[in-house]
Structure 1
């Protein structure tokens, strides 16, 4: 696919989308205007054992490159990926 070409979303797929183009643009603008605030709110979408207070620590200096996100938080990946979905989907075939 060529860069910049728009491909329309099929109607059958649109009905299953969580956000539309307007919502996407709004979220994208939030991420640009307040990156830390945006990612702090996104972190609320998962279950934490200890909620992170330090959202981002990045440095892009030639002598010190590091990228850390949510680095003082603690979560259980299995709980977020599997366990929290059991209540509504426990009888469904995986």
Structure 2
């Protein structure tokens, strides 16, 4: 049922846009989709790459997955406490009272800018935070310090326009590092 629905959606997309799916995996679109749905190849990274990863091998991944399945709230609470800096620490991990509209960490408060940028300045200020590769082949490396400067400049520009805490701002921007 799900496969037929996907095929139908793709066929309608092709009919509307004139775009097509590459036919190099099978003779028909349905075969291509079926092939993708049943993808199970494993790509083993190099030893050098794996040595720098948090999860070094399949056994560690399986152990992590088992831990998450055994106590999913405890698992996510531990990750949230260890990996994020909370302005107001959470006391509730998951609120299921209004399913399917679940709320995670709803009594905690985060500052996303601090977590993504500010807390990295002391140790990583001169390291690359963003590598931008433009469509024309241009490349730009932006350090955490440079990014912080630009974010502060933009935030102050918004402030000068009267935008304050809690306000929502929508911007339409091209694919650039500033976006």
Q: TM-score under structure 2 normalisation?
A: 0.46
Task: Tell me which moved more, 81-90 or 21-30.
Answer: 21-30
The count of aligned residue pairs is 91
State whether structure 2 residue 128 is matched by structure 1 residue 90: no
Between structure 1 and structure 2, the one with the greater Rg is 2
Q: TM-score under structure 1 normalisation?
A: 0.83
Alpha-carbon RMSD across the aligned residues, in angstroms, is 1.9
Alignment of 1:38-57 (within 5 A): 38-44=75-81, 45-57=83-95
SS at match of 1:49: strand
Structure 1 CA distance for aligned equivalents of residues 67 and 101 of structure 2: 24
State whether structure 2 residue 48 is matched by structure 1 residue 12: yes
Stretches of structure 1 that go unaligned for 5 or more consecutive residues are none
Structure 1 CA distance for aligned equivalents of residues 106 and 70 of structure 2: 22
Deviation at 1:43, TM superposition (A): 0.7
SS at match of 2:65: helix
Structure holding more helix per residue: 2
Structure 2 CA distance for aligned equivalents of residues 52 and 26 of structure 1: 26
Give 2:73's aligned residue.
36
State whether structure 2 residue 63 is matched by structure 1 residue 26: yes
